[in-house]
Chains A and B, each alone.
Chain A
Amino acid sequence: MAQAKEHSSDLAKQEQRLAYWLLAPTFIILLAIGIYPLLSVFGYSFTNATFASAKPTEFIGLQNYQTLLSMTIVQVPPILDEATGQIKVDENTGEPQFESAVRALPREPIRYRPVTEFTLFGNKYVLGATDADFIHAVWDTVVFGVVTVFLELVLGMVVALIVNANFKGRGFMRALILVPWVIPTAVSSQIWAYMLQPNRTGFFNTVLWYLGLGNGEIAFLSDPALQLPSMILIDVWKTTPFMALLLLAGLQLIPADIYEAADVDGAGPVRSFFQLTLPLLKGTIAVALVFRTLDALRVFDLFQIVLGQARYSMASFTYYELIQNRAMGYSSASSMVIFFVLSIFAIGYMRSLGVKSDDH
């Protein structure tokens, strides 16, 4: 008896040793290309390191982060009429007139640039930042992420329900929806950039012009008001299939007899979707949402290829700071900001997934 016990604990030890040996290569590689570079990026983010430059690297504390994130809101003073001392009013619109927003922002010790202007209770304010490009990039990326993920969820649900239905050629359709997903983003970005050309050589301008909408010269990719919607359109096309597959996996876990029971009860398809399917899919939807949000917030390929430096995502901003400006330290700080934001989502994701090693 005692011998058997000893034998089994020997086996357990052997098993444990094997496990560590098998895990070692993976962890060594991830340490070398993941954790070590991450720590060095963290270190660089407190310096003014510049690539390929003779300038010595100095420790500058939190200055990079300060430049990236400093924001201020100031009221823009109205223009006063010299004769009456009253606020000057535009003769055509009747709107009060204001000084230039740029001049209202502080210039010393660091210069603030306007990010956006807004009116509240008749007063005009300007939001300024020391790096307006970065604040714009963060805002655009967040808007892009939230809107694409929401649209993908709705459309992905429709697609998942379709390919979950019973019809001839279902297998083929399931392969077909993988086309947008599998196509390299570099390729799909170029295809869409071509379809969105600012004249009637582009598909969208041609079709809208045929329909009598627009003059056939809509600048989808250079008009600031249309840039984000265009990015959202492209990304929704590209990633809806992935969302649909995640939802489909959840749909397939729902036992069919639940629906049969609902059928007997006389519940229509719409009611059974909202009262049965949706609640049962809650877990899957939560996981898919966080997973996709994480992905959307680090968007790079699409922005860099289609918009270049006309408009940044957080990731393409970081890339251009590093490669174009060779601002190693500054780019590292912006990397760390992205990492921090994404970590919050990742932790939420892992919580919702719940890792179980089923050993206990």
Chain B
Amino acid sequence: MTTRTKQRISRILLWVLIFVMAIWMLFPFYWAVNSSFKTEAQLAMMPATFVPKTPVTGEVSFTLQNYEAVFNNPAFLRGIVNSAIVAISVTVVALAIGAFAGFALGKLRYRGKDTTLYIILAMTMFPQIAVLSGLYTVINTLGIPAIPSLILTYLLFSLPFTAWVLTAFFKELPTEIFQSAQVDGASPFQTFYMIMLPLTAPALVTTGLLAFIGAWNEYLFALTFTSIQPDARTLPVIIANFPSQFAMQTPFGEIMAAGIVSSIPLFLLVFIFQRRIVAGLTAGAVKG
């Protein structure tokens, strides 16, 4: 076998692998799209069809009724608003506070730095379930409404993560910039605010995206803290416990439509900011 045919074979093999991988990653989502365009009768067809088909004639036929139902469902619409409020607020607060901490951890010299670094790293792994009953009591005792309590408690995972990733980015900025600004008479805070922060803008976008995605997808706290306040439910809670008008069976068509609608903002983010998201994810986990 010549080198050329060898190369050609390995090329073909690579493309086969790419193809198989793409199907494996995307198929469940395709199935959701397929099902979301089916009527109740089409969903009940056995065997299930790979494209929406009319039961009798077998002709391809799509319906938009699930999407109509979902967009006329007040609980779902409120869920979109709730999710947006919670996710955006968490992102803004986590970035603002986390950038302070990240700058101190990444660039400033002070006593006890190792300890603070360890605490932040440990907090990035803090299991939410461990404080569930404690937070629930605090929220009930103080009578905090569900939405503010979600924003506050989501900081438990988004704040350490933001601080940790930003620390890594601040560390990479050359110390000379910081020092020369100081020599020029700028106070450390001015240096941070006017010179360093603008330089980390790309990092802020990356961490902001990840904080947003994390908050948009969170389920455990949302489920627990909205249990007595259904109008504060976020999208994951609504999709997992879909309010059905006909309680006979699970309305899978509508659930799939609702799931697709709530995933679309995330898909857009992923395809626009792919590089940044990958950089942020790996920085959060593997860079010490």
Contact = CB atoms under 8 A, between A and B. Distances in A.
Mostly helix, strand, loop or mixed at chain A's interface? helix
Contacts of A191: 28-29, 31-32, 256, 259
Nearest to A269: B10
B47 A210 contact: yes
Given A178-B274, A249-B286, A36 B134 contact: yes
Interface in B101-125: 101, 103-105, 108-111, 113-114, 116-123, 125
Contacts of A26: 97-98, 100-101, 120, 159-160, 163
A246 B109 contact: no
Nearest to A244: B21
A339 interface: yes
A14 B29 contact: no
A291 B44 CA distance: 41
A353 B262 CA distance: 35
A175 B285 contact: no
Contacts of B48: 200-203, 206
A181 to B, nearest CB: 8
B25 A184 contact: no
B199 interface: no
B133 A331 contact: yes
A355 B101 contact: no
B18 A16 contact: no
A8 to B, nearest CB: 10
Given A177-B25, A355-B288, A319 B219 contact: no
Interface string A188-210: 11111011000111110010011
Contact of A294 (B125, B136, B256, B286): B125
Interface string A131-156: 00000000000000000000000000
Nearest to A298: B127
Contacts of B282: 245-246, 248-249
A216 B104 CA distance: 60
Nearest to A301: B219
B177 interface: no
Given A12-B109, A186-B217, A190-B239, A357 B129 contact: no
A187 B131 contact: no
A341 to B, nearest CB: 9
The listed residue with most A CB atoms (<10 A of its CB), out of B47, B128, B220, B255, is B47
Contacts of B133: 41, 44, 322, 328, 331-332, 335
A36 B263 CA distance: 34
Contact of A194 (B15, B97, B128, B256): B256
B110 A16 contact: yes
A200 B45 CA distance: 8
A182 B286 contact: no
B127 A184 contact: no
Contacts of A200: 46-48
B130 interface: yes
A246 B159 contact: no
Contacts of B105: 23, 357
A95 interface: no
B240 A322 contact: no
Interface residues of B, number: 104
Interface stretch (B58-66, B67-75, B181-189, B200-208): B181-189
Contact of A245 (B10, B14, B97, B281): B281
Nearest to B288: A353
B263 A184 contact: yes
A33 interface: yes
B195 interface: no
Given A16-B108, A287-B285, A171 B274 contact: yes
Nearest to B188: A18
A338 B129 contact: yes
B266 A245 contact: no
B25 A179 contact: yes
B194 interface: no
B32 A33 contact: no
Interface in B26-50: 26, 28-29, 31-32, 35, 43-48
B92 interface: no
Interface stretch (A68-76, A82-90, A96-104, A159-167): A159-167
B86 interface: no
B81 interface: no
B28 A319 contact: no
A356 interface: yes
Contacts of B97: 25-26, 29
A175 B274 contact: yes
A315 B139 CA distance: 20
B173 interface: no
B154 to A, nearest CB: 9
Nearest to A201: B48
A227 interface: no
B236 interface: yes
A37 interface: yes
Given A18-B188, A182-B267, A287-B285, 6 more contacts: A39-B134, A194-B35, A199-B46, A246-B285, A294-B125, A319-B223
9 contacts: A16-B111, A34-B156, A41-B130, A41-B132, A174-B274, A201-B44, A201-B46, A318-B129, A338-B129
Counting from the closest, the 8 A-B pairs by CB-CB distance are A37-B134, A186-B236, A187-B259, A249-B282, A200-B46, A37-B131, A19-B110, A175-B274
Interface of B: 10, 14-15, 17-18, 21-22, 24-26, 28-29, 31-32, 35, 43-48, 97-98, 100-101, 103-105, 108-111, 113-114, 116-123, 125-138, 152-153, 155-156, 159-160, 163, 171, 182, 187-189, 192, 213, 216-217, 219-220, 223-224, 227, 235-237, 239-240, 242, 252, 255-256, 259-260, 262-263, 266-267, 269-271, 274-275, 277-278, 281-282, 285-286, 288
